[in-house]
Structure 1
Amino acid sequence: MQQSDVVIIGGGVIGSSAAYFLASQPGFQGSITVIEKDPTYNEAATPRSAGGIRQQYSTPENILISQFGAAFIKAAGDHLAVDGEAPDLQFHENGYLFLATEAGKTVLTANQQLQRQLGAATELLDPAQLQQKFPWLNTSDLAAGSFGPVNEGWLDPYSLLQAFRRKARSLGVNYIKDEVVGLDHSGRQVTGVKLHSGATISCGMVLTCAGIQAAHIAGLAGIDLPVRPRKRYIYVFDCRDKIARVPLTIDPNGVWFRPEGANFISGVSPAEDEDPDSTDFELDYRLYEDLIWPTLANRVPAFEAIKLVRAWAGHYDYNTMDQNVIIGRAPQIDNMIIASGFSGHGLQQSPAIGRALSELVTFGSYQTLDLSRLGYDRLLNGQLIQEANVV
């Protein structure tokens, strides 16, 4: 029987952020163990993501979460350096550009006003301003665009994950390659985490940061977590005509694209009725052929003659209720804390979520950013917080 004051299930970017912030927390003096079944992260969600970070949300908490995330990423050298070596997160502050037709202008405007009230530097642009700032853009059917020139863009997801992990280990966090197969519990307490290897780790607190496996882990404690694995595709294409100053751009129909080195990447979330649970990595090019390429060619005339280079698949831990993270103490279990259901926002939210989890463990409550509204209770009382800007 091994023992750890805190066991974190899942060593991806959320679990490793939580491990780092907890190990850095002056008020915490205990031991921390992270259980990760695949330390290569070959099939993990983080390295397969588009790496975006933005403040353009419709939920106040999401805006504030990403503001902290952007500030943390810009100062990563101060926070995550090990032995004087700072990580290179390759942050490209090129911005996000949300586009809207007349039908979506009211919602876009309301969201942008909320973002400004909370300190984001987003700008609402009319078609003429869009054309002037982005001359490569077809604005003929657009009514407005919302552009975030500050604290928005993209970074290398794998670099952030490894930076958190490396820093956490340097602070004494123990990483174990294994898989959780059971939870021992007595009354309202988890007393031990059972591993595939046959070992059991007794613990004082359990953090569930298991991505698409979070619902399974919660189920081991009798908790129904409405988080499902949803597959997303990223398509890489080449454009022979060079266009400059391209932000991560989201078309009114949800198709997005951004530069990636000398190429571009793109994707779209499918309609809910065409988005089954999936854990495989098989590719499907129908979305690209039927929706993405026609949208790209219409929105950017230079994209009429693009060449598909390659594609890959990854997964969202998708909250089917309202597409917002579920964070906080689990129902029925007093010493389990959940952070799951990011619905594609996990990477950019990882700094603030890791900090929040460390506060819940150390102090029993949030000390900086109050995320109480995002707790499990909202699923029980029907007070859902629907995020409109899911990409």
Structure 2
Amino acid sequence: MSKEFISHRGLTLRNFSPMIAKKGGYMDKVIIIGGGIIGGSILYHLYKNGYRGKAVIIEEMDALAQGSTSLSAGGFRNIWSTEVNMKLTTYSIKRFSESEKEFGVSIGFDQRGYLFTFYEDNFNMIKDFKPNWDRAGVRTELLTPEEIEKMVPGLHTSLEHLDPEIVEFLELKPIAGGLLGLDCGLVNPTPLAVAYIEKAKEMYPELVEIKLKSHVDRIIFEGGRTKGVITGSETIEGDIVILAAGAWSAKILEDSGVSDEQNIPVVPLKRMLYVVNPPEIEGVLDIPFTIIDKGVYFRPEAMNWLVGKAKEEQEPGFDTEPEKDYYEEFINYIMQARIDGAEYCRIQSMWGGLYAHNTKDKNGIVSFHPDFENLFLATGFSGHGVMEAPGIGQSVSEFLLKGKFETIPEVSQLDYKRFRENKLVKETIVI
């Protein structure tokens, strides 16, 4: 397949892709909708792995990676319930560690660990599940309550210090143990996303086009295929359209005339983050990314803490306004019950972002759409897109250029067709 031109079914194919050619088409120009870390990773890895056609990456904002990528909690972990996520994130963590050398930019890579805490019933389940992580190469340690308290200064695993009425009101139980992810930690995804796109442009300036402040009005469909996209008064044609628009992906398909039955099961869900001053206790800036009762989490952010928790009753929608009351009247109550001095953890700043929430199984969709043969989906990652971005970029590029997922074969489980075939890949460890 090294020839520049290959004849197939009467067509002349350039930049041969067996997956595309099998369907009677070719890949000479790629359109990527979404200038965040997923779209950027796909763009970069296509060229890194041998693609030499044209590419247009379209971003609605006036700068790259200013949407959900820049608003994430900035954590990465390979502790998951599904093997595909374990493999994707373990691969991605290795690539994060190499990014400064690869791109010459700092991404704040910090393997300080992830600490999950559990009540007794769940901790017993974690102990039973640990061999699965061991087999997948996910390095973890089980911790006693005493070890947890030593690792997170000021945290109480017991409830003896609390009034029983508070315990009942907050529905708390003693922490029976913890799970520490040894390879997990923190990363700043924004400079990495920008580096992906700028590196591709630097390597092939005549092939890569970056379109900022460009809103995709709709994808053009004709005869079961995509012809390109319309952005305002401009029509951009291409052979492959890659939808990597995160929480906006389903809306773009809806605006393009895709029926509810054909659309993806992805909705936007607001997630809020709060920067607060930490308790005045020695060592509180040296803690891992820590998850306690009700899914409340906190981790160091410069000289502060970054705190969050998914709001269970959150309705789908594009509202991103942070809610001060949610921190002060719920999250901080949980923190006060567990951590000395948490009542003094005041909000310094706050923001809201959007999860591309897959309502079926909380996992990404990485495949062609079965009804539109040259529409490729890379979306719906339900809050773990940043953590998997290097692996997704590598996998999508392999599939488009070689017709298969080579590095991480398990990505094939994330095909859109799983929804129709009832082969869901349900991820249960979602924060």
TM-score (norm 1): 0.92
Letter in 2 for 1:326: I
Q: CA deviation at 1:165?
A: 1.9
Match for residue 260 of structure 1? 301
Match for residue 41 of structure 2? 17
Q: Could you tell me whether the CA contact under 8 Å between 2:219 and 2:253 is conserved in 1?
A: no
Q: Could you tell me whether the CA contact under 8 Å between 1:234 and 1:267 is conserved in 2?
A: yes
Structure 1 residue corresponding to 2:60, chosen from 34, 37, 43: 37
Whether 1:383 and 2:423 are equivalent positions in the alignment is yes
Q: Percent identity, aligned pairs only?
A: 31
Structure 2 residue corresponding to 1:202, chosen from 209, 222, 237: 237
Q: Could you tell me whether the CA contact under 8 Å between 1:4 and 1:201 is conserved in 2?
A: no
Q: CA deviation at 1:76?
A: 0.6
Q: Could you tell me whether the CA contact under 8 Å between 1:56 and 1:111 is conserved in 2?
A: no
SS of 1:275's equivalent in the other structure is coil
Match for residue 298 of structure 1? 337
SS of 1:119's equivalent in the other structure is coil
Whether 1:165 and 2:197 are equivalent positions in the alignment is yes
Q: Could you tell me whether the CA contact under 8 Å between 1:53 and 1:348 is conserved in 2?
A: yes
Q: CA deviation at 1:60?
A: 0.8
Distance 1:110 1:55 in 2: 17
Match for residue 87 of structure 1? 105
Structure 1 residue corresponding to 2:141, chosen from 123, 129, 134: 123
Q: Could you tell me whether the CA contact under 8 Å between 1:4 and 1:33 is conserved in 2?
A: no
SS of 2:372's equivalent in the other structure is coil
Distance 1:107 1:99 in 2: 12
SS of 2:429's equivalent in the other structure is coil
Whether 1:109 and 2:133 are equivalent positions in the alignment is no
Match for residue 23 of structure 2? none
Distance 1:204 1:239 in 2: 51
Q: Could you tell me whether the CA contact under 8 Å between 1:18 and 1:354 is conserved in 2?
A: yes
Q: Could you tell me whether the CA contact under 8 Å between 1:20 and 1:167 is conserved in 2?
A: yes
Structure 1 residue corresponding to 2:353, chosen from 296, 311, 314: 314
Larger radius of gyration: 2
Distance 1:38 1:287 in 2: 28
Which segment drifts farther, 378-387 or 309-318?
378-387
Match for residue 270 of structure 1? 311
Match for residue 154 of structure 1? 186
Whether 1:6 and 2:30 are equivalent positions in the alignment is yes
In the TM superposition, what whole-angstrom CA distance separates every residue of 1:318-369 from its partner, at most 9, and x where no partner exists? 1111111111111211111101111111111111011111112111221210
For residues 201 and 95 of structure 1, do their structure 2 counterparts lie closer, same or farther at Cα, with a shift above 3 Å needed?
A: same
Tell me, which stretches of 5 or more residues in structure 1 are unaligned?
A: none
Match for residue 185 of structure 1? 221
Q: Could you tell me whether the CA contact under 8 Å between 1:297 and 1:303 is conserved in 2?
A: yes
Match for residue 250 of structure 1? 291
Distance 2:211 2:151 in 1: 50
TM-score (norm 2): 0.84
SS of 1:347's equivalent in the other structure is helix
Whether 1:356 and 2:395 are equivalent positions in the alignment is yes
Q: CA deviation at 1:78?
A: 3.4
Q: CA deviation at 1:154?
A: 0.7
SS of 1:215's equivalent in the other structure is helix
Letter in 2 for 1:143: A
Letter in 2 for 1:160: L
For residues 164 and 39 of structure 1, do their structure 2 counterparts lie closer, same or farther at Cα, with a shift above 3 Å needed?
A: farther
For residues 55 and 42 of structure 1, do their structure 2 counterparts lie closer, same or farther at Cα, with a shift above 3 Å needed?
A: closer
Q: CA deviation at 1:4?
A: 5.9
Q: CA deviation at 1:248?
A: 0.6
Q: CA deviation at 1:290?
A: 2.5
Distance 1:159 1:300 in 2: 33
Runs of 4+ off more than 4 Å: none
RMSD: 1.8
Q: CA deviation at 1:187?
A: 1.9
Match for residue 330 of structure 1? 369
Which segment drifts farther, 243-252 or 216-225?
216-225
Q: CA deviation at 1:109?
A: 2.5
For residues 242 and 31 of structure 1, do their structure 2 counterparts lie closer, same or farther at Cα, with a shift above 3 Å needed?
A: same
Distance 2:380 2:240 in 1: 20
Q: Could you tell me whether the CA contact under 8 Å between 1:47 and 1:158 is conserved in 2?
A: yes
Q: Could you tell me whether the CA contact under 8 Å between 1:43 and 1:314 is conserved in 2?
A: no
Distance 2:95 2:65 in 1: 26
Distance 1:183 1:281 in 2: 25
Structure 2 residue corresponding to 1:174, chosen from 191, 209, 219: 209
Letter in 1 for 2:303: A
Distance 1:61 1:237 in 2: 34
Q: Could you tell me whether the CA contact under 8 Å between 2:75 and 2:185 is conserved in 1?
A: yes
Match for residue 4 of structure 2? none
Distance 2:297 2:152 in 1: 16
Q: CA deviation at 1:137?
A: 2.4
Q: CA deviation at 1:103?
A: 2.7
Q: Could you tell me whether the CA contact under 8 Å between 1:41 and 1:47 is conserved in 2?
A: no
Q: Could you tell me whether the CA contact under 8 Å between 1:208 and 1:218 is conserved in 2?
A: no
